[in-house]
């Protein structure tokens, strides 16, 4: 029998002792063809990702060779996960941390990094790797400018690769009973893929090393001699690259699978829905590639991939239906009229609204919860009014008790509605008046179109013509 707090149970002495030795699980709800597919749950690391291993290894290697001494400042360029790992290690060891993060890394991760105590510098995300404002170049510059600064550089630091060659890879081999036929993984810094593959190929020279890359990554094309390398863009920010990192060894790659954004985001959500595993977007990338590899095999194989990080870092993106709709990652019915521009459609139950009898405090709560500035007022499926932040403020500024009054007393009822079959240019006068467009006819309310919705429509139209 186990008793919590038993002094004989060799309890961990610090959070760093909890890094690694993560569980491995067989997936049973997916069609893996003739193969058995296993996932190593790296989201169970204390910082929520496999990058905890990388951070710990790099910091301890720098301490061992004297590159870092007490009082030094650790610097890292990161899309989030490595930075979180560095902050975790640094907080335990007492080092200040500066993290350079591309501005498109994601709000959830940036908030997490700041909460961890790190100084976060946002870098431009629209520049090439040769530009002075590229996030990795800023980190190099900081190291030169700060006398006590040390840039860990996950992309070229050999300790990154060794963390997986001596840690993650051997764990997989042991947990799989020394029977692994294929390993599927993406590349950002290159350490995980290269380190794990090197060890596993030493144990099984016949092992297939499968590279999973997002569409638009140059690494996928660079490992396929039949393709010309053409850079693109992807919403999967922590995997894939337009330049090969120093830790990536392309010679160990046996197969490459390119995964679209829609495939990766869908696979991540399927993993949660079908297996109860809450992984991030790179996990979806790994799963989509692994399933494709498994289904193409002619004989049974034991295949391993990674749940690289936790889905909690993507609540406002990968697991937010409105965001997915804005990005075109969830298929919607196409009407060929203005309804195609509506993100939150009434007929699909996505509209955030209030009824005339709801109180102002209820309206205020929904505006805050869903991060919107106005709400349609619906009654029996028809729009009867609108209420926005200004209406609320004017109502309650002098009389706080009005928070308990019904919306019908303060809503705007003179509404200008646009029918679905109107031209797209009919939206412009509404937007010039700083209003939202109400799409409805005499019988039905369909939804609202904001200026951002129109911008997204124009952007997606441009992408479809590329």
Q: Give the residue numbers annotated as catalytic, written as ranges.
A: 51, 282
- Residues 439, 421: Cα–Cα separation, whole Å: 10
Q: Do residues 361 and 404 lie in contact, with contact meaning Cβ atoms separated by under 8 Å?
A: yes
Instruction: Name the 3-class secondary structure at 420.
Output: coil
Q: Give the separation between CA 225 and CA 134, rounded to whole angstroms.
A: 29
Which two tokens mark 425? 């240019």
How would you classify the pairing of strands 445-449 and 437-440?
antiparallel
Both structure tokens of 202: 């030493």
* DSSP element (H, E) containing 256: strand 255-259
Radius of gyration in angstroms for the set of CA atoms belonging to the chain, rounded to a whole number:
26
The 3-state DSSP class for residue 429 equals helix
3-state SS track over 354-397: ECCCCEHHHHHHHHHHHCCCEEEEEECCEEEEEEEHHHHHHHHC
List the structure tokens of 79. 């899309």
CB 168 within 8 A of CB 50: yes
Measured N-to-C along each axis, helices 281-296 and 261-275 cross at an angle, to the nearest 10 degrees, of 90
Cα separation, 438 vs 445, whole angstroms: 8
For the record, the structure tokens of 40 come out as 């190593």
**Which are the contacts of 211, defined by CB distance < 8 A and separation ≥ 6?**
185, 186, 187, 193, 219, 220, 223, 253, 255, 256, 257
């Amino acid at each position: 029998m186990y008793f919590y707090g038993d002094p004989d149970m060799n309890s961990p002495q610090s959070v760093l002792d909890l890094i690694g030795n993560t569980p491995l699980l067989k997936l049973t709800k997916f069609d893996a063809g003739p193969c058995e597919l296993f996932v190593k749950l790296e989201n169970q690391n204390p910082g929520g990702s496999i990058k905890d291993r990388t951070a710990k290894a790099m910091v301890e290697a720098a301490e061992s060779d004297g590159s870092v001494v007490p009082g030094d400042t650790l610097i890292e360029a990161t899309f989030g996960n490595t930075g979180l790992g560095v902050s975790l290690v640094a907080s335990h060891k007492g080092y200040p941390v500066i993290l350079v993060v591309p501005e498109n890394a994601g709000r959830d991760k940036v908030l997490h990094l700041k909460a961890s105590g790190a100084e976060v510098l946002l870098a431009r995300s629209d520049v090439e790797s040769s530009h002075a404002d590229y996030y990795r170049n800023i980190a190099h510059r900081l190291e030169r400018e700060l006398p006590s600064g040390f840039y860990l550089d996950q992309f070229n630091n050999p300790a990154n690769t060794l963390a997986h060659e001596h840690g993650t890879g051997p764990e997989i081999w042991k947990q799989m009973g020394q029977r692994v036929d294929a390993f599927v993984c993406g590349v950002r810094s290159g350490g995980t893929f290269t380190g794990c593959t090197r060890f596993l190929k030493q144990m099984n020279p016949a092992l297939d090393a499968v590279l999973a890359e997002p569409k638009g990554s140059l690494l996928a094309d660079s490992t396929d001699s039949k393709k010309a390398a053409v850079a693109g863009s992807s919403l999967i920010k922590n995997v894939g690259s337009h330049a090969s990192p120093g830790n990536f060894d392309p010679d160990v790659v046996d197969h490459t699978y390119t995964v679209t954004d829609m495939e990766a985001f869908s696979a991540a959500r399927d993993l949660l829905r079908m297996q109860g595993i809450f992984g991030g977007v790179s996990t979806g990338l790994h799963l989509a590639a692994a399933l494709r590899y498994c289904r193409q095999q002619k004989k049974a194989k034991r295949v391993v991939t990674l749940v690289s990080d936790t889905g909690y870092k993507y609540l406002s993106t990968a697991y937010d239906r409105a965001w997915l709709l804005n990005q075109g990652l969830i298929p919607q019915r196409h009407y060929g009229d203005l309804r195609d521009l509506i993100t939150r459609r009434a007929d699909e139950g996505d509209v955030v609204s209030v009824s005339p009898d709801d109180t102002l405090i209820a309206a205020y709560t929904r505006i805050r919860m869903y991060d919107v500035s106005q709400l349609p007022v619906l009654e029996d499926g028809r729009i009867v009014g609108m209420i926005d932040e200004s209406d609320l403020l004017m109502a309650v500024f002098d009389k706080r008790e009005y928070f308990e009054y019904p919306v019908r007393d303060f809503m705007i009822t003179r509404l200008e509605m646009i029918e679905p079959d109107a031209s797209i240019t009919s939206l412009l006068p509404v937007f010039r008046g700083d209003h939202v467009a109400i799409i409805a006819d005499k019988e039905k309310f369909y939804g609202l179109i904001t200026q951002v919705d129109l911008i997204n429509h124009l952007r997606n139209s441009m992408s479809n013509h590329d």
